[in-house]
Amino acid sequence: MPSIFTKIIDREIPADIVFEDDTCLAFRDISPKAPTHILIIPKREIVSLDDLNDEDEQTVGRCVMVASKIAEAEGLTNGYRLVVNCGSDGGQEVPHLHFHLMGGRKLTWPPG
């Protein structure tokens, strides 16, 4: 079952897209929790970290590389956080693997 993120990939619903290549798409979170809050997603429909296969290794690596490049492009020179929520205890709401890139303010630890 395609998630809302597949609809963003397919341009069926709008999003503020900041980066795209053959593997990943990155767009601003609709409900930002920090001044910069961008979601990096694989175009492949992977539900969560629990669903990764060996063949996803390059895809996941590419998403992390893209996150780092976007952080630089966004000027997050003081640091940032890259978060993946997994499953219900992890707080995952959208069943399509995504990396939250958050920065632009001091982030607290531990998260709630």
Q: Which of 41, 32, 39 lies closest to 107, judged by CA?
A: 32
Q: Which of 4, 17, 64, 107 binds ligand DGP (CB under 6 A)?
A: 4
Binding mask 44-83 for ligand DGP (x = CB under 6 A): ----------------------------------------
Q: Which of 9, 6, 7 lies closest to 20, judged by CA?
A: 9
Residue 26 lies near ligand DGP (rule: CB under 6 A): no
Which amino acid is present at 107?
A: L
Q: Which of 40, 66, 76, 92 binds ligand DGP (CB under 6 A)?
A: 92
